[in-house]
Amino acid sequence: MANSNLSKEAFIDAPRIPQDIVAFLDRIFPEKCPDPEDKINDVFYRSGQRSVVRYLIRLYEEQNDNVHRS
pLDDT tens digit string along 31-69? Answer: 999 999 999 999 999 999 999 999 999 999 988 986 666
Report the pLDDT value the prediction gives residue 1, as an integer from 0 to 100: 44
Q: Is residue 51 part of a domain?
A: yes
Report the pLDDT value the prediction gives residue 3, as an integer from 0 to 100: 43
- pTM: predicted TM-score of the whole model, two decimal places: 0.76
Q: Is residue 1 part of a domain?
A: no
* Contact criterion met (CB below 8 Å) for 61 and 6: no
Position 14 pLDDT exceeds 60: yes
Q: Is residue 3 part of a domain?
A: no
Q: Is residue 55 part of a domain?
A: yes
Which DSSP helix (H) or strand (E) runs through 51?
A: helix 40-69
Q: How many domains in the chain?
A: 1
Which domain range does residue 32 map to?
Answer: 8-69
How big is the chain, counted in residues? 70
pLDDT tens digit sequence for 17-38:
999 999 999 999 999 999 999 9
Q: Is residue 2 part of a domain?
A: no
